[in-house]
Amino acid sequence: MEQRDPLPATGGLAEVRARIGRACRDFGRPDESVQLICVSKGFGAPDILPVLHAGERIFGENRVQEAKEKWPPLRAQFPDVTLHLIGPLQSNKAAEAVALFDVIETVDRPKIALAIGAAIRASGTAPRLYVQVNTGEEPQKAGVAPRDLAALLAFCRDEAQVTIDGLMCIPPADQLASPHFALLRQLATRHGLKELSMGMSGDFELAIQMGATKVRVGSAIFGERRTKTSPIAI
């Protein structure tokens, strides 16, 4: 990654925190009912450290390999970090993901559920798991179709023997997000799931209105990502 000056610790992060607080007040929700996931994919230690020093401890990464290279030295300094996998997972990376992440948000098919279950039993480590729902049923996007969610949840419970704590979605970029957030909330209520990971930099206030318990915010905190980047070691 190209060397850059660190972002001010209270720049974009302070604004995001203020917006989350206002949204919680506007929609009658306690501040603690919504947690911020700082999406640090594509950024290295110079960008992440100011956010850590500002007190944030929940971060999201898209790729197992990038997180594996980047986070061990950061966690040596900040052992209370909670790391979420928010990108698609391949079954051959399941063991690494279980070892590295505290939350895996992208369980989306039986093969992945089986691989995660086997890795959990082999390691004794049990990350919290969410199912990713493809609310727009976009063929290019990961996630289970809403109509197939019940079957996948049953498979996770009965065959893979893993516990699902919540749901995650990424609405289609060319559609209003609110119907997709409403659908995810309805599905979570129907299946007795408490965690809802939905909303990003452009729509997290709407997600809070619709019941999100986790919002995934990257560019509003860190700025725009550069292409062809790799993590900088501390």
**pLDDT at position 232 over 70:** no
pLDDT at 195: 98
> What's the half-sphere exposure (Cβ side, CA atoms, 13 Å) at 221?
32
Q: Could you tell me the residue ranges of all domains in the chain?
A: 12-222
pLDDT digits (tens, 9 = 90+) for 124-183: 999 999 999 999 999 999 999 999 999 999 999 999 999 999 999 999 999 999 999 999
Q: Is there a contact between 166 and 213 (Cβ–Cβ < 8 Å)?
A: yes
Predicted confidence at residue 226, as pLDDT, reads 57
Report helix, strand or coil for 61: strand
pLDDT at 180: 98
Give bridge partners of residue 139 from the DSSP assignment.
Answer: none
What is the model's pLDDT at position 7? 43
Radius of gyration of the chain (CA): 17
The model's pTM is: 0.91
Q: Are 107 and 133 in contact (CB under 8 A)?
A: no
Percent of the chain with pLDDT over 70: 92
Cα-Cα-Cα-Cα dihedral sign, residues 223, 226, 229, 93: positive
Scored b (16 or more CB within 10 A) or e, 33-50 reads: ebbbbbbbbbbbbebbbb
Helix (H) or strand (E) holding 187: helix 178-190
| pLDDT value at 231 more than 50 | no
Please state, rounded to an integer, the average pLDDT across all residues of the chain: 92
> Residues 174, 178, 183, 188: what is their CA dihedral angle, to the nearest 10 degrees?
120
Alpha helices in 191-225 (DSSP H): 204-209, 219-222
Architecture of domain 12-222: Alpha-Beta Barrel (3.20)
pLDDT tens for each residue of 2-48: 334 444 444 799 999 999 999 999 999 999 999 999 999 999 999 99
Express each pLDDT in 73-82 by its tens digit: 999 999 999 9
